Structure 1
Amino acid sequence: MSFLVIDIGNTRLKWATYSAPDPQATLLRHGAVFLETIDDLSEREWQGLSAPTGVLGCAVAGDNVRRRVEDQLEIWDLEPHWVASEASAGGVSNGYDHPVRLGSDRWVAMVGARHRLLMRGERCPALVVMVGTAVTVDALDADGHFLGGLILPGFGLMLKALEMGTAGLKVPTGELCHFPTNTSDALMSGGAWAIAGAIDRMYAHVQTRCGQAPALFMSGGAAVKLAPMTGLPFEMVDTLIFEGLLKLASERQYVFKPSMN
């Protein structure tokens, strides 16, 4: 028996199978592919996997990409469920002006972070940072209310914007450093410090608003590069969205069809 969770981002699709639709379940298998290759999932990444009992995912890449993934799931005759942001679920209440317009990946990641804190018996605010094609910095108070968040371009988008808008800046990727002395390092460090500065400011805002320092969770492909630059205590959790999906699956009691294969 296994349960499949899927996170379709702007650049990559990440997936994992767990022993049950529950946040305490055991991770069995996982992987990631670029969106350009998702039409081969059933023949490559998922080849030989035991048929899951159900599928729950979040998708921000658009309906066309989501339908292509659904086509790949036909190998198990399974109909997936896709999470949409809502007013309240998984211990989180949504403070967005229009709750359904909040990105489902941001919503699910906050559910995952909130669940982690509750399971540890910690009653404190949280700051959830995801570093991918875009960077999001989302704040929860100690009661699980989503206060609001930031959206910034990720490293790649920042560099691409500079290359497109400034003559002579198409240079190799540089290194992160405090005092760059070449253009490559200056570009990479400038982007990184800009993102780190946004995280630092939001951390301070949450601490002022809540009267307590937030627990800082970081996730995403480039998070490992950025996290040390903040100078703040942080917890790196690569599976944050998966954990949020599992929490919602266990809470909402989605109806999953047994596989016919």
Structure 2
Amino acid sequence: MTLLAIDVGNTRLKWAIYSQAQPGAKLLASGAEFLENIESLAEGAWAAIPAQDAPSKMIGCIVAGDALRQRVQEQIFERWDLNPQWVLSSPQEAGLVNGYDFPMRLGADRWVAMIGAWHRMMATHSAAPKPMVVVMVGTAVTVEAIGVQLAPDGTSQGKFLGGFILPGHGIMLKALESGTAGLHVPTGDVKEFPTNTSDALTSGGTYAIAGAVRRMRHHVQNRCGQDPVLYMTGGAGWKMHPWLGLEDVELVDNLIFDGLLEVAKFRGISD
């Protein structure tokens, strides 16, 4: 049984086909499309998928509204006879408890990425689970805190404690361009002591994000009494990672797909 996993963000739709609806499944195909090109999927990238790799199940998460979800589903129905399952934030799923004031209002991408991060941490720290800071760097930046608590059956489970939302680099720079006379979106470099406007803007945005990550790390240390595991993911994570000034941050290619596979297993999609 093959699985189509879809992550629809603010800018792009990312997709992957796995050999099973299980964590660690073999990746058979993957790709990405900008949202304005979604209507080309069925006759484009998906048309090239061999018949033996065609998915029989689908799971996904989406941050946009019903109109965009409908566009995606139309492409799925045009290419494959699948019943889409969309993951929404909930009070609890796949080993993680949602501490948001209104759990259903938490972004599905944030929720799924945290589930992926929790199981990644447990794979190496199951004997002594650790709190985490999970950073996603994309159009927006999120910095999440996850603690550890005992479940009713005596096992460990994660507890989402709260998180920051920041504008990503592009949004920061466009805001400065539109609100400040004489500034234009730069192509500068990150410098410790910028001496031109382009470098100053690029460095300012980069170190603002780094500061938020370091602050959340400090909060989790104080709250949980130990150093957290730090994960960074997202399309622009590789750009941000070198400038954090923290040696213990693990860059993960796509925690959202990891989380979708964990939810698929939890829900028994392959059964």
Do both proteins adopt the same fold according to a TM-score greater than 0.5, normalized to the shorter chain? Answer: yes
TM score, norm. by length of structure 1? 0.95
Identity %: 58
Number of matched pairs:
256
Q: Find the counterpart in structure 2 of residue 32 from structure 1.
A: 32
Task: Indicate whether 1:142 and 2:148 are aligned.
Answer: yes
Q: Find the counterpart in structure 1 of residue 155 from structure 2.
A: none
Tell me, yes or no, if the aligned pair for 2:264 and 2:270 is still in contact at 8 Å.
no
Task: Indicate whether 1:116 and 2:116 are aligned.
Answer: no
Q: Find the counterpart in structure 1 of residue 250 from structure 2.
A: 235
Aligned residues: CA RMSD: 1.3
Letter aligned with residue 17 of structure 2? T
Tell me, yes or no, if the aligned pair for 1:171 and 1:183 is still in contact at 8 Å.
no
After TM superposition, list the pairs within 5 Å mapping 1:150-169 onto structure 2. Answer: 150-169=164-183
Letter aligned with residue 135 of structure 1? V
Task: Indicate whether 1:52 and 2:55 are aligned.
Answer: yes
Worse overlay, 223-232 or 91-100? 223-232
The 1-side partners of 2:35 and 2:41 are apart by: 10
1:61, CA displacement in angstroms?
1.9
Q: Find the counterpart in structure 1 of residue 154 from structure 2.
A: none
Which ranges of structure 1 fall in alignment gaps of 5 or more residues? 257-261
TM score, norm. by length of structure 2? 0.92
Tell me, yes or no, if the aligned pair for 1:70 and 1:79 is still in contact at 8 Å.
no
The 2-side partners of 1:27 and 1:196 are apart by: 32
The 1-side partners of 2:215 and 2:125 are apart by: 27
Q: Find the counterpart in structure 1 of residue 8 from structure 2.
A: 8
Query: Could you say if the C-alpha distance between residues 96 and 111 of structure 1 is closer, same or farther in structure 2, counting changes exceeding 3 Å?
Result: same
The 2-side partners of 1:72 and 1:180 are apart by: 47
Partner-residue secondary structure (3-state), 2:125: coil
After TM superposition, list the pairs within 5 Å mapping 1:48-87 onto structure 2. Answer: 48-49=48-49, 50-74=53-77, 75-87=79-91
After superposition, the C-alpha distances for 1:49-87 in whole angstroms (9 at most, x for unaligned) are 132011100000221111111011011111211000001
Query: Could you say if the C-alpha distance between residues 48 and 204 of structure 1 is closer, same or farther in structure 2, counting changes exceeding 3 Å?
Result: same
Which ranges of structure 2 fall in alignment gaps of 5 or more residues? 150-157
Task: Indicate whether 1:249 and 2:264 are aligned.
Answer: yes
Letter aligned with residue 60 of structure 2? G
1:255, CA displacement in angstroms?
7.5
After superposition, the C-alpha distances for 1:6-56 in whole angstroms (9 at most, x for unaligned) are 000000111111110111211221111110111101111211213201110
Q: Find the counterpart in structure 2 of residue 101 from structure 1.
A: 105
